[in-house]
Each structure stands twice: as C-alpha cells, then as structure tokens.
C-alpha cells in the first residue's frame, strides 16, 4: 500500500468510527511532517496520528515530539504504519516505540475498539494481566504465590507484580497462564488513551523540556521562557504547523511566530487552525509584518500580536 493509500485508509477508518477528521499538509514533505491526521469526537477524545509506510523511518526526535505534543494537548498520539524495520506489522500487535504505539490500519481499528492484547516492546511480546482477576482465580483454585510461580517457572515476586499490574507478562508466560486460568484474566493494552492519564505523570514527563531549548530561535526561546515563568509548560516544535505547543492552567496553546522571509506563514496558520479545531486549543500568532496581519486575522480564530512580549502579557492574564 502506497503512503497516500495508507493515509486514505486511516482517514476512512476514523470516519467510520465516528471521528471528525482533519488532514494536515504542513510541512509539505510527508517525511518531515510529524502529524498527518488530527481527529476528535464530541466527548473530547482526540487523536494525533502520524502515517508512514515503515515505522523505522521515524527517528527518536520525531516520536518524542509527537509524544510531547500529545501530552500537552491531552490527545492520544499514535503511529499508523504497514511495516516496522521492513517486517509487516501484525493486526493484533501494537509496537511500543519510545512511548508511542505503532499499529497497522486494522490494528488501529482494534485499538479504537480497545481490542489490542499484545504489545511488542524492545524485541519481545507481552500481554497485560487483570491483576484482580488473576488473584481471584489463583485463590479460588487454592494456589499460593509460590505454587503459581513454580507452574510458570518464574519467581514469587513476578507473580506478585503481575497481580499488582506493575509489569506486563511475557507472551510465553501469558500462554501458560491462559492454559491454567483461561483468557478472561487478560486485559487490553490501552493503545488509545488520553496522554494526561498515562502511567507517567504529565509534569514528570515534561520536566526535561521545562527550559527553552538551545536550538530555539530568539523569539521562540523568549516565549517558552515566559510561559514557564507564568507556571505553564511548553515545547518548541519542528514537525507540525505551530512553532510552540504549550499549556498553562487549563488552556492549550498553539503558538506561531512569523519568521524572517516566512513565505509559508499564512499556510502554517491555516493548518494550525485545523489542529486547534480538533484539540480545542487556542491559537496565538506573533506577526511582525503588516502585510500578514489582516490575512491572519481573517481566519477569525487567531489571537494576533505584534511581538512576543505582547503575547506573554496576554498569557499572564489567564
């Protein structure tokens, strides 16, 4: 399946599951684009989707930006691909890549139905146990922790951790558990989950980005520093339309800063509006050229500022 066909198949699936969908076309080169699809439901559930033929084409920085944007925007970041390292992705398996799940199109359908039960992580396959059910079944059958550990050829501590749901179970051990207790003791992998509710805390995951990156432009650096000083969180982005994704209190912010000779600025604002519509974010644009001010204001959903300091004063009022 070609990349354009894979993208259209993903969009059709999301429509069929009741999502409103926007396709993102900036950056124009799909290999440089961090998000291809933004989708949402009326209940506030939002998805940031990267579509690519082979997940191995995505580097750590690509995945990290998708993950961080998803957390700040309270969306689920997910990658849809046909292959990983040249190997076709199984319909029933989600591959964990730097904290983001990779699935094929059918796997995305299973994830939306909460029916993915196997995760591929660091070269191994795992399943997730319902700890309460496992403990109930173990006690009902009269097994001690040691008894079950012997049957599974694992340690007592491992069984305890399974019941506390602190670790996932290797596929080989999962198959042994299935023989003993059946498949009702397993629970699906939460591939689609709003990022703020993940195991690692929202604040903790973003700590490494709580300072303006050295690579940020002067204006972007000042904006990020100002947001942090106001008690918010912010990251500079390279692969999606806005320059900065931020959150302060309950406000999600997409910030665009006009660059010198920025011929694509109006296009970036247009694409950012599509993202903001699906994730319920506020768009803020710093526009220094008078020629762009009226065009940007014409979008009707963008707060326009002449400089970063003016924008930060407005942010400080929230």
Chain mean pLDDT for the chain: 91
Domain(s) labelled CATH 3.40.1350.10 in the chain stretch across 3-116+191-196
Residue linked to tokens 């002449």: 306
Residue 147 sits at φ, ψ, to 5 deg, of: -60, -50
**Segment 272-288, tens digit of pLDDT:** 999 999 999 999 999 98
pLDDT, position 212: 53
Distance CA 31, CA 20 (A): 24
First to last CA, the chain: 47
Positions in the chain short of pLDDT 50: 196-210, 214-215
229 close to 223: Cβ distance less than 8 angstroms: no
- Note the CATH number of domain 3-116+191-196: 3.40.1350.10
- Say how many CA atoms lie within 13 Å of 12 toward its Cβ: 8
Q: Which residue has the tokens 């084409």?
A: 57
Write down the pLDDT at residue 139: 97
Q: How many CA atoms lie within 13 A of 214 on its CB side?
A: 0
Domain with CATH 1.10.260.40 in the chain: 126-187
Output the pLDDT for position 45. 95
**3-state SS track over 40-108:** ECCCCCEEEEEEEEEHHHCCHHHHHHHHHHHHHCCCEEEEEEEEECCEECCCCEEEEECCEEEECHHHH
- Residue 193 pLDDT: 79
Tell me which residue has tokens 């939460």. Answer: 190
Position 216 scores a pLDDT of 55
Is residue 227 within 8 A of residue 234, CB to CB? The reply is yes
- pLDDT for 229 equals 94
Please give the backbone phi and psi of residue 201, each rounded to the nearest 5 degrees, phi first: -70, 150
Residue in the structure block whose two tokens are 């972007």: 220
User: What class is the 210-315 domain?
Assistant: alpha beta
CA atoms within 13 A on the CB side of 273: 15
Query: In this structure, is the dihedral angle defined by the CA atoms of residues 99, 103, 108 and 113, taken in order, positive or negative?
Result: negative
The yes or no reply on domain 126-187 and CATH 1.10.260.40 is: yes
In the chain, the largest separation of any two C-alpha atoms, in whole Å, equals: 77
The whole-angstrom separation of Cα 62 and Cα 35 is 10
**Which pLDDT does position 214 carry in this prediction?**
46
Number of C-alpha atoms within 13 angstroms, CB side, residue 190?
10
Q: What is the pTM of this model?
A: 0.90
User: Nearest-CA neighbor of 143 among 197, 180, 98, 97?
Assistant: 180
**Count, residues in the chain:** 318
């Amino acid at each position: 399946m070609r990349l354009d066909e894979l993208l259209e198949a993903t969009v059709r699936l999301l429509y069929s599951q009741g999502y409103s969908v926007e396709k993102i076309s900036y950056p124009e080169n799909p290999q440089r684009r961090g998000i291809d699809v933004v989708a949402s439901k009326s209940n506030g559930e939002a998805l940031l989707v990267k579509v690519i033929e082979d997940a191995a084409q995505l580097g750590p920085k690509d995945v990290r930006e998708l993950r961080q944007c998803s957390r700040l925007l309270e969306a689920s970041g997910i990658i849809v691909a046909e292959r990983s390292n040249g190997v076709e992705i199984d319909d029933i398996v989600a591959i964990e890549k730097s904290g983001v799940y990779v699935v094929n199109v059918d796997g995305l359908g299973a994830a939306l139905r909460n029916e993915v039960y196997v995760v591929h992580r660091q070269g191994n396959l795992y399943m997730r146990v319902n700890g309460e059910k496992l403990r109930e079944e173990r006690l009902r059958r009269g097994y001690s922790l040691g008894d079950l550990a012997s049957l599974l050829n694992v340690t007592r501590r491992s069984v305890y951790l399974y019941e506390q749901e602190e670790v996932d179970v290797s596929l080989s051990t999962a198959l042994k558990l299935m023989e003993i207790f059946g498949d009702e003791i397993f629970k699906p992998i939460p591939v689609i989950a709003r990022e703020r509710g993940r195991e690692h805390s929202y604040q903790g995951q973003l700590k490494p980005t709580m300072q303006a990156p050295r690579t940020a432009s002067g204006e972007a650096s000042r904006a990020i520093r100002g947001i942090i000083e106001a008690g918010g969180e912010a990251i500079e982005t390279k692969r999606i339309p806005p320059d900065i994704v931020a959150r302060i209190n309950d406000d999600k912010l997409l910030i665009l800063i006009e660059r010198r000779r920025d011929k694509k600025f109006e296009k970036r604002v247009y694409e950012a509006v599509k993202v903001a519509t699906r994730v319920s974010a506020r768009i803020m644009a710093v526009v220094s050229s008078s020629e762009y001010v009226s065009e940007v204001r014409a979008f009707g959903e963008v707060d326009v500022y002449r400089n970063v300091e003016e924008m930060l004063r407005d942010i400080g009022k929230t």
